[in-house]
A and B are shown apart, each in its own frame.
Chain A
Amino acid sequence: MALSAYPDVPLFRYPYTELTEAQIAGKLAPAAQNGPGGKGPLESDLAGTTLRIVTDGSGTLTWQFGQRNRVTFNGVEAGYGALTLDHVTLITHLMPNSTKGWIIAWDRSSNLATVYELWFGGGPSPHMREVNRAIWHGYVQTATGPAPTARHTPTLRIEGRALAWTEDTGNRTIDYYPSVTYSHWVELDRLKEGRGYSAPSGYIQLTEDIYAYDRVEAEFSGLMHMFLMDMNRLEQVGVRFGFNGKDELEYYMFRGTGEWLGQLARFELFGDFSAEPFKTENDKKGERRIYRPLATMDKLTPAEVAEVARTKTKVFEGPSGMAGNGTPASGALAGKAFAIRYDDGPSMEYRFESADSLSWRKSGGAWTKARYNAWEVMPGAFIFGHLLQGEPDHDCHIVAADLDSGMATLFRGYMNTPYIANEAGAETYFGKITGEGIPDPGDRRHERTRDMLGRAFTWEYSPGVNSMHVYSTPNTVSWVIPTPTNQFGSEWSGTGDFVKIRDQLYFNRWLEEACNGTLGTFLVNMRTMHDAGIGYHCSKTELSLGPIGAPARHAGRIDVEKFFPQA
């Protein structure tokens, strides 16, 4: 694959180069001398200023600013850049002959400061190209007056908000901040698919108005995107630092303007403003909890998948932590028989022999018995699923069947994708049901919907097994995991698809690509705020269909429709 700064494949499919420390040092050298770039003018009014920042945890750090953009730190001269947002100045420079750099947020009114120490290599990141950062809070030492006791602090005040930013570079980004340790971003210009991704992030409150945010695109490019945002004026100044998909250094400062898009609910107890749920005394410098799913995923060959399918298939066997709070399976399909003809897809005939056993045949082939489960999520509207034994890609069919309208939607799950054999792929088909007492919908079909777009639902699968979905784009599902104290923490994302079955009844799916390989599906009833769903998964230990079910809370809706014009 030819290298591309901003790939036209999903970022989790892109083969980012494992850069060496020497390569990185070489690429940083000119920028260390010259300072960051920028579309607009950078500030140079710091000449003659000595900034002595007393930090909690990293001692006293001293910067001496010379003429133009020269700065000296630890006796080494470099080029710096600065931009001021109201009364807070953001300064950055790299250290020559090293793979290190700094970003300083200096509040000129309070003299409080937050320092971002940046480096490549040496951990904690396992990837040389991924920016490491440690954040130090402190104050600027002055000749007069006592040292302030206040500090900039990690905050949950931003949690749940979403903004659209337009930088002076022309780049537009939708930022979702549904967590206190992660964020989710959608590049509207540089990436082709309008897909959202999730990254470990930090949120620091400087004042009631101004917050510092950073994300490191861990598991992808490793780029750091950091900015100060003024929540009243909806303005930002920031720094982009790291290597893009073409291994080019991006080191520039930017200004931007924001648009407030809404806020999802927060679920901490009232009065709980703690914002560092994972911090421990033993944390190493720069250490934080970063979800690296591809590293832990079982990766099987097609032959291994076939062997698992032959010997270790589990279909609705036993209780599932993903459905401890689910509704009971329905036996209402038992005794029924119908066919589903999917447009541009298979024709399926069904005989439901009992509450959990059916026979199917595909496009007039032989009848095959299969175990299934079904749930009647709204009267007359079912989700059911089964494996198609004998199909070369170990297919499953997960179907939303509305027996009152005669319409059905199929999520066909399959293995042996081109990337990882045990990573599920999925297709969506729309069709009509024919059977006794089932009305003929004619040409009407279920349709994809934007009704989910921007919404977030929490799901309480079992005691202690909870998550929140954020439907950030028309093709993205992001999931965020709460801590026991209800701050949202780790977040990841995959491909989504959303189909309207009836008013307030939606059939949705997500794919855990380059993650676990699971296909998750669910039929959510927004009247009862409960769903029933089916997960399809293959690992070393099993090829499985299992139940998913949880009561939902509607956590809010972010207004992003206009950013995704329909073709």
Chain B
Amino acid sequence: MHKGSETSRRSLLKASAILAAPVIAAVPSVAGAADGSRARLARLEDEHAIEALQRKFLRYLNGSDEGSDLLASSEAMDVGKGLRAVSQLGQEPELGLEDEGQSAIMRCSYRVEREIELTGNSTIEQMSRLQGQGSYREREERLLTTRFVKSEQGWRIAAATLA
């Protein structure tokens, strides 16, 4: 069982602010404090790297050509069919580092837009198809869970699911 520490972006920022001042003030004092600061600094760097990766991944989900290499494998992503757009709902992502900083999980709800093919036999679908409209857009709120893993090359996405 992994023991993870969880934080939100807001608490993350708060931690950064708290850290910023003590780092300067505390470095000259004792070695133990310096080790603690280095650990916290390393954690912050990890969190920033993961956040940047997540932003890049969201751009990829929104149609950017760049980003397919973020994933450990093509099977690592399960976001459903017809995904066209993912947008923030104003909620802070929830990030947890696990395995002593070697993996992480981020969860956040997003507004998801999918292109749904009009395959049904309702009269509206039939008539829309007759008019050349083969699909419609469906919007829903979904939880994006992204699992990250740290390697020698840095952080990568091990798995991503929209549920």
What is A's interface to B at a CB cutoff of 8 Å? 277-278, 289, 291, 293, 296-298, 319, 321-322, 324, 461-465, 467, 479, 481, 483-484, 489-490, 492, 512, 515-516, 518, 535, 537, 539
Contact = CB atoms under 8 A, between A and B. Distances in A.
Interface string B112-140: 01001010111111111011110111111
30 contacts: A277-B131, A278-B132, A296-B121, A296-B126, A298-B121, A321-B118, A321-B120, A321-B124, A462-B137, A463-B136, A463-B139, A464-B135, A464-B136, A465-B118, A465-B124, A465-B128, A479-B124, A481-B131, A483-B131, A484-B133, A490-B127, A490-B131, A492-B123, A512-B123, A515-B123, A516-B126, A518-B122, A535-B122, A537-B122, A539-B121
A297 B122 CA distance: 9
Contacts of A467: 124
A291 B130 contact: yes
B151 to A, nearest CB: 39
Nearest to B113: A463
A311 to B, nearest CB: 18
**Majority secondary structure, B binding face:** mixed
A516 B121 CA distance: 7
Contacts of A490: 127, 130-131
Contacts of A537: 122
A465 B136 contact: yes
Interface of B: 113, 116, 118, 120-128, 130-133, 135-140
Nearest to A483: B131
B143 to A, nearest CB: 16
Contact of A464 (B120, B122, B127, B137): B137
B139 A293 contact: no
Given A321-B136, A324-B139, A481 B121 contact: no
Contacts of A535: 122
B140 A319 contact: yes
A289 B130 contact: yes
Contacts of A278: 131-132
Contacts of B125: 321, 465
A463 B118 CA distance: 12
Contact of B124 (A297, A319, A461, A484): A461
B122 A322 contact: yes
A280 to B, nearest CB: 9
A467 B136 CA distance: 13
A469 to B, nearest CB: 11
Contact of A289 (B120, B131, B137): B131
Given A277-B131, A289-B130, A296-B126, 20 more contacts: A289-B131, A291-B126, A293-B123, A297-B121, A319-B138, A321-B118, A321-B120, A321-B124, A322-B124, A324-B138, A463-B139, A465-B128, A479-B123, A484-B133, A489-B131, A490-B127, A490-B130, A490-B131, A492-B127, A516-B126
Contacts of B118: 321, 465
A268 to B, nearest CB: 15
Contacts of A289: 130-131
Contacts of B139: 324, 463
A293 B133 CA distance: 17
A483 B127 CA distance: 10
A465 B123 CA distance: 11
A484 B118 CA distance: 14
Which 10 A/B pairs are nearest by Cβ-Cβ distance? A464-B136, A463-B137, A490-B127, A481-B127, A465-B136, A516-B123, A489-B131, A289-B130, A464-B137, A512-B123
A509 to B, nearest CB: 14
B128 A293 contact: no
A464 B134 CA distance: 10
B90 to A, nearest CB: 20
A293 B127 CA distance: 9
Contacts of A512: 123
Given A462-B137, A463-B138, A465-B136, A518 B128 contact: no
Nearest to A487: B131
Contacts of A489: 127, 131
